[in-house]
Copies of this chain bind each other. A is one copy, B any other.
Amino acid sequence: MKVIKTIDSLRRDLQLRKADGHSVGFVPTMGALHEGHLSLIHQARDNHEVVVVSVFVNPLQFGEGEDFESYPRDIERDQQLCEEAGVDILFYPSVEEMYPREASVEIRVVQGVDVLCGESRPGHFDGVVTVVLKLLHMVEPNAAYFGQKDAQQVAVIKQMVQTLSMSVQIIACPTVREEDGLAKSSRNVNLNTRERELAPALYSTLIKAGELAKSGSSRTELMEYVAKNLDQLELGTIDYVDVLTYPELVASEQLSGTVIIAVAYQFSRARLIDHILVEL
């Protein structure tokens, strides 16, 4: 595995491999890799001759008071995990390499950002699409892999690719879960014993709501059902419950096509998100 830190050498290396007709799969990450990331890497490994993983903690997507400085960084461990997973190129640029000068253009997400996690994180998705667009321009992969767990991020990126007429395929990989259904997250370690016992209720409630959606419940009924069930946990507070079209993330009482039922729940020391997609 090559560890590459500059855009120029990344391009030079990839150019040679592409000239041989090799297909490139790209997994952009912020590092601190866990099983979720590894499942993306494995899928890219299955589909492409060349797998590129980027590790870059993107300052643009952190708001004021958010945890840019304290965001976990462990490049040695990331490097080892990538090597074991058969990655070809680990791209690990500095902030100066990614943003060498003031931006001459700014990208603003204007659809699907005033809902779900976007509501409490203004500008967050502008930072996400900016870094993803730049990384896609650097790697020019055939496909890029994202975790479906970050459903809104995947939606926003898919919509950007469409709006900007990009040819790259955006592949969303399924959420990796514990045996009891809890979505894997680095934040799960911050649950206490009682919270950890009850946390799978997030997912099981979403599954039941999905069944109700299929049997004709309205948006309001579904939101009330999920809220009522999660209120019964009596452990923390609901940050949001929402039911939207996917990937447009538009509220519509008439449910049809692909619909996301999404929840964010604040436990004592961990805010967890989860969702399901339902085909109606």
Contact = CB atoms under 8 A, between A and B. Distances in A.
Contacts of A163: 101, 103-105
Interface stretch (A35-43, A49-57, A164-172, A254-262): A164-172
Interface stretch (A79-87, A132-140, A265-273): A132-140
A104 B21 contact: no
A120 interface: no
Given A19-B21, A21-B19, A134 B104 contact: no
Q: Is the interface of A mostly helix, strand, loop or mixed?
A: mixed
Interface residues of A, number: 33
Please give the count of copies of this chain that the complex contains: 2
Nearest to A108: B106
Contact of A134 (B105, B110, B140, B165): B165
B137 A104 contact: no
A138 B137 CA distance: 13
Interface in A104-118: 104-112
Nearest to A166: B137
A27 interface: no
B110 A106 contact: yes
A64 to B, nearest CB: 20
A90 interface: no
Interface stretch (A154-162, A186-194, A206-214, A231-239): A154-162
Nearest to A159: B104
28 contacts: A19-B21, A98-B165, A101-B163, A102-B111, A103-B111, A104-B109, A104-B111, A104-B112, A104-B156, A105-B107, A105-B129, A105-B159, A105-B160, A105-B163, A106-B108, A106-B110, A108-B108, A133-B164, A134-B165, A135-B165, A137-B164, A137-B165, A137-B166, A137-B167, A138-B165, A138-B167, A140-B140, A140-B167
Given A104-B160, A105-B129, A137-B165, 8 more contacts: A102-B111, A103-B110, A104-B109, A104-B111, A105-B109, A105-B110, A106-B108, A134-B164
